[in-house]
Amino acid sequence: MLTAFADKIAARIVGFCAVVLIALAATAGIAWAAYTDNMYPTQYANAGCFSEEPNARQSTCRTDNATLTYYMDSGGEFELETPDRDDVRATMSSDYNPTDLSVSYDSTPSFSGSAETDIIYQEGSADIPSSVDGMTWCNNASDLDKCDQQYVRIRGAGSYTRGLACHETGHAVGLVHGNVSSPMKTNTDTRLGCMVTPVGSTTSLGSNNIENINNTY
């Protein structure tokens, strides 16, 4: 009887400690994921965020606050075609806006100053490595974790899909691949939602990524 009672008390203490740890993590802005922590920085992805050119080594960053503004190039070399604009709108409205991020389209984007448009979407293959269909890079790092403005560039000719737009947007808000999440997962683990590689054309954000976002922003 005493042993059973002691076991119950121990279980309650463990449960209480878990709740306290989750609360402390949320207060400190640390992502607490139900399955894995794939929000930068993780144990395996922590090299810092740096301002870069598109053809440089891609560092990992997350956007600088919960107010997420975006713009899609509407002219010139990197203009998005109508179907590709629709894919970006779909992931922003259906995947990211329902999270704790406050998402809005910036029709008059800012490329300098203290309130730059957070994500600039482009279509084109310039500077994209042959092994990938899209990439995300920081144009203006605000500190070693965060970036004030990031660019997403995805190849044209059918490469632009909602799934890939979701994937590259995930990188812009700080989500990383499975092989650098904590604990590590495979890059093809379906519980990573649109952060899997390769990603399906209609793959959505997924519950694990949503929890990471909400516990960060």
Domain boundaries, the chain: 31-216
pLDDT at residue 113, as a whole number: 87
pTM for this prediction: 0.85
Residue found by looking up tokens 């044209």 in the block: 156
- The mean pLDDT value of the chain amounts to 87
CA distance 39 to 60: 10
Q: How many CB atoms lie within 10 A of CB 116?
A: 21
Integer-rounded Cα radius of gyration of the chain:
19
Please determine, for residue 102, whether its predicted confidence score (pLDDT) is greater than 80: yes
pLDDT at residue 32, as a whole number: 52
Which residue did the predictor score with more confidence, 26 or 66?
A: 66
Domain 31-216 -> CATH class: alpha beta
Please determine, for residue 208, whether its predicted confidence score (pLDDT) is greater than 70: yes
CA distance 89 to 166: 10
